[in-house]
A and B are shown apart, each in its own frame.
Chain A
Amino acid sequence: MIDEIVLETQGLTKYYGNVLAVDHIDLKIPRGCICGFVGRNAAGKTTAIKLMLGLLNPTAGSSKLLGCDSTALTPAIRQRIGYVTEGHRLFGWMSIVELERFQRAFFPEQWDGKFFAEMIEYFGLRRKQKVKHLSNGQRAQVSLALALSPNPELLIMDDPTLGLDAAIRRQFLSGMIEIIMREGRTILFSSHILGDVERVADRIVVIDKGVIRADCKLEQFRTAVKKVILAFEDSVPLQVDIDGLLHCGRSENELALILVGAGDDKIAELAKSTGAERYHIVNMNLEDQFIEYTAPTSRGKLFRWEEI
């Protein structure tokens, strides 16, 4: 099957006043992809998502969802896209059943009422509860149910697990996995919780200060970003020469290197050339890798314990 591109951006740029929020984003998300969209605070994730959904107008560039320009999304296209807003903003005065009725009106043919009811039951919610009386997590569950029940082709979620505890997050991700299992469905979700991304995504896009810094398969990212500790008997060398060096940290006897795309053989060669007594590759999780990958090049230490 030829991969169909469901989400495409070209040079997407957005200024808020004179602040550059998103800078020439080029993305191509194929059908069936589960894409984790990660970045630090104020990196531009929400802005990028809103641009894609046509809620903001780009300063430059363009974006297409399901082949339709984002600034002119037709009702028919919107019907095929599910969107979970940041913070799960819903109408507080509505009850869950009223929300369902409201949402269903926009998906007359494709609404899966049975699935919605099952999800609500699964999450342990009462249908007549008003949204304003729900907790953050419960609201997130309702949002997910509302977004999944129309069986969308493309699901865009902006930080869907924000503020949720671990148990609720696990439930939430279960719902996501449900949709993953439906063939041809595509998900784009932004998150601060790299564990969630690691659990479900097969592709990762890292955005830093409005610029895409990584857009690859999750495995590629996991493999590429490494932390190597070189231990020295005597003094630590002042300069290190190796391709893919991102950061270098020194202590009395050790050199900590963050490398991108460096193979094991290159690392061994470096250890030998610098005269390191021994070296090891630190086992990092995705969160550690993300932090190191997006850390500023000249970073200081804030806390005293970091110097130890």
Chain B
Amino acid sequence: MAKRNVLEYVSRPAEAVIALILIMFIVFFAQFLVTELVWLYTYEKPSPPIYPDDPQWRIHRAAKHFLPDGTMHLVHRTDAQDDGDYTKEEITDVNGDILWQGIRKERPFKYLEWESSPREYAEFYGEQQISRMLLSPPLPCVLEVPVKVGEKVKEVWQYDLEAQVFAGYSIKVGLMGYLGANGFALSKAQAQPLGKFEGLALWTDEDPSSIVMLGVTKRRIYQIDFRTHKVETVFDSGQTDIESIRWHRWRPMNPKDSNSSDIQYRPLIDCRTADRRQHLIMREPNQVLTVELPEQMQTRQTSGHWPFKVDFTATSDALFMQYRENHFNPPKSHKLLEQYQREYASKPRPQSLQLYKVIDDGKMELVKQLDWIRPVWEKPYPADSREIIMKWASTMSPPVFDLLWYLFGDSLYEFGSEGVSTMRMMQAYAVIIIEFRPRYSSLNCVLSTAMMMIAFWHGWSRRTSWGKLFVWLVLVGAFNLAGLLAYLALNHTTVIKCPVCGRGRGLERVDCVRCGAELPVPERRKLDLIFDT
């Protein structure tokens, strides 16, 4: 008997936790479903925003581009919607004088292009994705890079996740060798590991049968040409870690599409390291330049709002940098972000766009600067109706999520948006907590209290112990509807009428919880033939 009780001390909580979590997912799904259905039913297409007729707004909303000589143009969209190459545009100079009008694909000006949009590893596929490929059901898969001659596959290079090298197999001969950090090696022991990839990109050039790979590890950037079996160390950061990579025109572009202008670009990789330095790796000719940006130009590690303030591009004539300053300095806490955004929008804010030329010694020369004021916009964007519906649906969410948000909101946000470097399930849980946390805390608490009262009323006649009932009440209070449903699922035991006091009583105890009477012994009839034999 004692052994079984010990087992129950572990199994009962385990059952409760499992039931609670599963029911919580069901409740979340129901909340999501309700939100989507109501949104679908009530959806109205929003009308396009109307901006005030203010010269500063016009400057602020215009796309700002530079010509290679440093001249700045403002490109204004005259259509309500962006129609791609057929969008109607008007190009002015910084004074507002109209230079040209027409559709985008017929622009007469060729502006400087900049490195990719500011997302880490935007075009890269992380090592985690490679390793995840090894685990994804139904069965692991591997990264294999083929090398063709004409139509026929001549070699296949297979990535070895453990050894962190590529193993090469010839179709005719079999295993040929390995590609590691030290290039081609005949044996695995001789091949140096490339290191754990944080990102990689693959592309073809003029010859589509050969693939080139750019792989980024913590300290190095490699370029691997599988046809020539060459491994080039493009950049070695030494003792400091590589934080982010962006590139421009590094992979070869189709001559037809790449540059139908006079601007000749140099391939460029912009590598930022943990010591807050930007390393610019260029080709044609090969050059590595290290730039130390002033503090105000440094990328801010916040919630992802405009983290990159500077962009680089390298032409055959010069290396340019554009610096955008909007004085948007949100607090580190994501919980205060929304309030800060409202405050930011409520006042006029100075904006600035500056073009610099980067000299060979890493110093920068200002070429052009445009300053303007972003006015207050009194008519904000309409609120997302989904958000409004979710606010009401979230009143059924667990109050404990609200508590977690209050205590660890910033960490949850960071954890939830960190991307591929963390466990995806933990990231998913963080996102669930953020998305489903109660928005109306007071109403949520009231509902939770109501759930607790229902649980108490249900459990009063059934309880085996005050302790157990108390624990369940705490769980119901913390998890709201999910807690109540879990409680009912695990505690719906029979209630019978006590023959002594006439009120409901459970059967888990021998005695009635109301009057203390035990289950009555049946009445012996006079005619019962019960003899002691």
Q: Chain A residues in contact with chain B, CB under 8 A?
A: 11, 13, 15, 17-18, 23-24, 28, 30, 33, 59-60, 69, 71-72, 203, 206, 211-217, 220-221, 224-225, 244, 246, 260-261
**Which residue of chain B is the closest to A72 with respect to CB atoms?**
B1
Q: Mark B490-531, 1 if CB is under 8 A from A, else 0.
A: 000011100000000001001000000011011001111111
Given known contacts A18-B494, A72-B1, is B529 in contact with A221 (CB within 8 Å)?
A: yes
**Contact yes or no, A217 B531, CB < 8 A:** yes
Chief secondary structure at chain A's binding surface: strand
Nearest-CB distance from A14 to chain B (Å)?
A: 10
With A15-B507, A24-B521, A60-B519 already in contact, the answer to whether A71 and B1 are too (CB < 8 A) is yes
Residues of A within 8 A of B525 (CB): 213
Q: A15-B507, A17-B494, A59-B507 are in contact. Are A211 and B529 (CB under 8 A)?
A: no
Q: How far is the CB of B241 from chain A (nearest CB, A)?
A: 62
Q: How many A-B residue pairs have CB under 8 A?
A: 58
Instruction: Report whether B496 and A261 are in contact in the complex, using a CB–CB cutoff of 8 Å.
Output: no
Among the listed A18, A23, A71, A214, which residue makes an inter-chain contact with B529, where contact means beta carbons less than 8 Å apart? A214
Minimum distance in angstroms from A77 CB to a CB of chain B: 15
B95 interface hit (Cβ, 8 Å): no
Residues of B within 8 A of A17 (CB): 494
B533 adjacent to chain A (CB < 8 Å): yes
A215 to B393, CA, bound (A): 64
Tell me which residues across on chain A come within 8 A of B518, comparing CB atoms: 60
Residues in B with CB closer than 8 Å to A60 are 510, 518-519
User: Complex: how many Å from CA A23 to CA B518?
Assistant: 13
What residues of B have a CB within 8 angstroms of the CB of A72 in the complex? 1
- Write the nearest CB–CB distance from A267 to chain B, whole angstroms: 16
Q: Are A220 and B531 in contact (CB under 8 A)?
A: yes
Q: Contact between B521 and A11 (Cβ–Cβ < 8 Å)?
A: yes
For the complex formed, measure the closest distance between the CB of B532 and the CB atoms of chain A, giving whole angstroms. 8
CA distance A261 to B507 in the complex (A): 37
Distance between A3 CB and nearest chain B CB, rounded to angstroms:
9
B529 smallest CB distance to A (angstroms): 4
Q: 10 additional contacts, CB 8 Å, given A60-B510, A214-B530, A246-B527?
A: A15-B507, A18-B496, A24-B521, A60-B518, A60-B519, A213-B525, A217-B533, A220-B531, A221-B529, A244-B527
Q: How many B residues have CB within 8 A of the partner chain?
A: 19
The residue among B528, B529, B530, B533 with the most chain A CB atoms within 10 A of its own CB is B529
Whether A261 contacts B529 in the complex (CB less than 8 A), given A15-B507, A72-B1, comes out as: yes
Inter-chain contacts of B494 with A (CB < 8 A): 15, 17-18
For A13, the closest partner residue in chain B by CB is B519
Shortest CB–CB separation between residue A241 and chain B, in angstroms? 14
Output the least CB separation between A37 and chain B (Å): 14
22 interchain pairs, CB-CB under 8 A? A13-B519, A15-B494, A15-B507, A18-B495, A24-B519, A24-B521, A28-B532, A60-B510, A69-B1, A72-B1, A206-B529, A214-B529, A215-B529, A215-B530, A216-B530, A216-B531, A216-B533, A220-B529, A260-B527, A260-B529, A261-B527, A261-B529
How many Å from the CB of B4 to the closest CB on chain A? 9
Q: Is the CB of B531 within 8 A of A215?
A: yes
Determine if A211 and B522 form an interchain contact, defined as CB atoms under 8 angstroms apart: yes
Residue of B nearest to A26 (CB): B530
* Shortest Cβ distance from residue B494 to the other chain A in the assembled complex, whole angstroms: 5
Interface residues of B (CB under 8 A from A): 1, 494-496, 507, 510, 518-519, 521-522, 525-533
The answer to whether residues A30 and B533 also contact, given A59-B507, A72-B1, A246-B527 and a CB cut-off of 8 A, is yes
Give the nearest-CB partner of A217 in chain B. Answer: B533
Interface of B, secondary structure class, is: loop
Report the Cα distance A225→B527, complex, angstroms.
10
Residue from the list A23, A30, A59, A203 in contact with B522, Cβ < 8 A: A23
**B42 smallest CB distance to A (angstroms):** 45
Which A residues are in CB contact (< 8 Å) with B522?
Answer: 23-24, 211
Q: Report the separation of the CA atoms of residues A210 and B496 in the bound assembly, to the nearest whole angstrom.
A: 17
Complex Cα distance A135/B494, Å? 40
Chain B residue with the shortest CB-CB distance to A30: B533
Closest residue to B508 on the A side, CB-wise?
A59
Residue on B nearest A224 in the bound complex, by CB: B529
Residues of chain B with a CB closer than 8 A to A33's CB: 533
CA distance A60 to B526 in the complex (A): 25
Hey, which chain A residues are within 8 Å of B519, CB to CB? 13, 24, 59-60
Q: How far is the CB of B462 from chain A (nearest CB, A)?
A: 12
> Which chain B residues border A260 with CB–CB below 8 Å?
527, 529
Q: Which residue of A lies closest to B3 (CB)?
A: A72
User: What separation, in Å, do the CA atoms of A28 and B518 have in the docked complex?
Assistant: 23
Which chain B positions have C-beta within 8 A of A220? 529, 531
CB proximity of B492 to chain A, nearest CB, Å: 11
Contact of B533 among A11, A203, A225 (CB under 8 A): A203
A246 to B519, CA, bound (A): 27
Q: How far is the CA of A225 from the CA of B522 in the complex (A)?
A: 22
Known A-B contacts A11-B521, A18-B495, A24-B521; the reply to A213 vs B533 at CB < 8 A is no
Contact partners of A15 in chain B: CB under 8 A: 494, 496, 507
Q: What's the Cα separation between A137 and B226 when bound, in Å?
A: 79
In the complex, what residues of B have CB within 8 A of residue A217's CB?
531, 533
Give chain B nearest CB distance to A296 CB in angstroms: 13
| Chain B minimum-CB-distance residue to A205 | B530
Chain A residue contacts of B529, Cβ below 8 A: 206, 213-216, 220-221, 224-225, 260-261
Q: How far is the CA of A131 from the CA of B495 in the complex (A)?
A: 43
Find chain B residues with CB under 8 A from A214 CB: 528-530
- Bound together, the chains give a CA A17 to CA B525 distance in angstroms of 26
Q: In the assembly, what is the distance between CA of A228 and CA of B296, in Å? A: 115
Q: Roughly how many angstroms separate A69 CA and B2 CA in the complex, as a whole number?
A: 13
In whole angstroms, how far apart are the Cα atoms of A203 and B531 in the complex? Answer: 11
A-B complex: 3 closest residue pairs judged by Cβ atoms: A214-B529, A216-B531, A260-B527
User: CA A216 – CA B528 in complex, angstroms?
Assistant: 10
Chain A residue contacts of B527, Cβ below 8 A: 244, 246, 260-261
Which residues of the other chain, A, contact B526 by a CB distance below 8 angstroms? 244
Across the interface, which residues of B come within 8 angstroms of A213, CB to CB? 525, 528-530
Bound-state CA distance A215–B530 (Å) is 5
Bound complex: CA A69 to CA B4 (Å): 14
Complex: chain A residue closest to B509, CB-CB: A60
Q: How far is the CA of A219 from the CA of B128 in the complex (A)?
A: 84
Q: Which residues of A contact B530 (CB under 8 A)?
A: 212-216
Q: Min CB distance, B2 to chain A, in Å?
A: 10
Could you tell me the distance between the alpha carbons of A260 and B494 in the complex, rounded to whole angstroms? 38
Closest to A71 in B: B1
Q: Which residues of A contact B495 (CB under 8 A)?
A: 18
Bound: A275/B531 CA distance, A: 34
Contacts of B507 in A (CB 8 A): 15, 59
Interface hub of B1, B494, B510, B533 (most chain A Cβ within 10 A): B533
Bound complex: CA of A244 vs CA of B530, how far in Å? 14
What is the CA–CA distance of A28 and B454 in the complex, to the nearest angstrom? Answer: 46
**Closest chain B residue to A24, Cβ basis:** B521
CB neighbours of B496 from chain A (8 A): 15, 18
- Chain A residue nearest to B527 (CB atoms) is A260
CB distance from A302 to the nearest CB of B (A): 25
Alpha-carbon separation in the docked complex, A206 to B533 (Å): 15
A215 to chain B, nearest CB (A): 5
Cα–Cα, bound, A283→B531 (Å)? 24
